[in-house]
A and B are shown apart, each in its own frame.
Chain A
């Protein structure tokens, strides 16, 4: 299949979680606490898109099709997009866009700090995801974009600490398992083992 078409399909599919929120909002089905629902939903989709982004290279190694990698950018930008919504809703509705209040919350609470640092790094990757930045950064670009591994780890810790009080870790363990498998698979000798 034509990669341009595939990219377009991925783009449309990537908008479904957002569309779903609009539909639920229209139907009045965002639960009794809509903001919490939206915040959690966008957070979960951020981590989901991070997993999908990280899955593209391993898929190439396993299947031998190089086209997988061409979807990385779209998926990565969707991760940033949902992360941006996640952050903005919290900054706006929890802190009334008060920068100092927001920063002091980040400093005081490691759980929030993890998410915030991940978001800041992810913003850098999103800004440098275009051809111009790639050209300007040259060899440093690849190194910078390896920070997605750190983002994924921070995101999992953020999620883990968020759920800590209730010890409700089932879903967190699933995401942790997926992310660690996707990182593990990148260890050179394992990579060689699965490569086609």
Chain B
């Protein structure tokens, strides 16, 4: 039986998650309210605040690197994800990623660098001015989204650690904690999920160290608290929830390449002329709220970022280096 007191209105009840984190919330409100972009007038409402208010990020729109395509809705971009650490189905990450603990979070940059470092999230996000970039995201499965991301070019971080002349590749090692990630019980991938780029790809200004999307800090299911976004490559190259970045002189054996070498190469550039062994990559289904019976759209070379990245692959046979 449910007891109902008519004098208590539902809006007066502190949401359970706010109540559970009340001490943390107060701390954030008093110490970090400016950083969180909160106006001081809101502070008296301390207990009534929803999490949303702490989630906002201030980022300057970068027109040069933003596409004009219609955006995918926040709902679709946060409920249709491949993030196998939380399960294989597209709605698993939205359902199960709540267990991911994103603070405190440190990320270490090591390997062939002059100044290796370990940096915590709050310092990392302040390393450079945040930008908003609207990128196309093309999944290797044949669908695509258009997402406004918030972050800064990865090169800002890489320059800080000063890569050695011998460094040729960058490895991204992501979190693999079975206590937080139920999907790790499956052995599809040899955890942790590992991705990589050639150093010059990683230094390309398009390669985006990402902390937020749609002007909010990253939802857990989208790779919180920090991920990369590499818009000219298939989505799986954009590693999520990164804990370590390692510079090496060996081409990294990336997770999907290791799982199915014939299907997923190290480069995995978006390329309409090179088919996946089991399906064509020449078209894609755009997820932007259009009529569900619309036909597919043509996939562009390097996902439409040819002018920025084609020179990275000059003289290379992209069929061989798929």
Contact = CB atoms under 8 A, between A and B. Distances in A.
Interface of A: 25, 30-36, 93-94, 96, 105, 108-109, 111-112, 161-162, 164-168
Contact of B285 (A30, A35, A108, A164): A35
The interface residues of chain B, by DSSP majority, are classed as loop
Nearest to A97: B295
A166 B276 CA distance: 13
Given A36-B285, A109-B278, A31 B90 contact: yes
B84 to A, nearest CB: 8
A170 B79 CA distance: 23
A93 B296 CA distance: 7
Given A32-B287, A33-B143, A33-B287, A109 B279 contact: yes
B295 A34 contact: no
Nearest to A169: B188
Contacts of B264: 165
A96 B295 contact: yes
19 contacts: A30-B292, A31-B90, A31-B91, A32-B75, A32-B79, A32-B145, A33-B80, A33-B90, A33-B285, A33-B287, A34-B292, A35-B292, A36-B285, A96-B295, A111-B278, A164-B263, A164-B278, A165-B260, A167-B260
A95 B211 CA distance: 38
Given A33-B287, A36-B285, A161 B292 contact: no
Contact of A166 (B145, B188, B279, B283): B188
B69 interface: no
A112 B276 CA distance: 13
Contact of A167 (B80, B188, B285): B188
B3 interface: no
Given A33-B143, A165-B260, A167-B260, A94 B296 contact: yes
A22 to B, nearest CB: 13
Contacts of B145: 32
B177 interface: no
Contact of A165 (B91, B275, B278): B278
Contacts of B292: 25, 30, 34-35
Nearest to A105: B280
A96 B285 CA distance: 13
B294 to A, nearest CB: 8
B143 A164 contact: no
A111 B276 CA distance: 12
A31 B287 CA distance: 10
B88 A168 contact: yes
Contacts of A32: 72, 75-77, 79-80, 90, 145, 287
B53 interface: no
Contacts of B118: none
A104 to B, nearest CB: 10
A167 B259 contact: yes
Interface in B229-286: 259-260, 263-264, 275-280, 283, 285
B236 to A, nearest CB: 10
Contacts of B279: 109
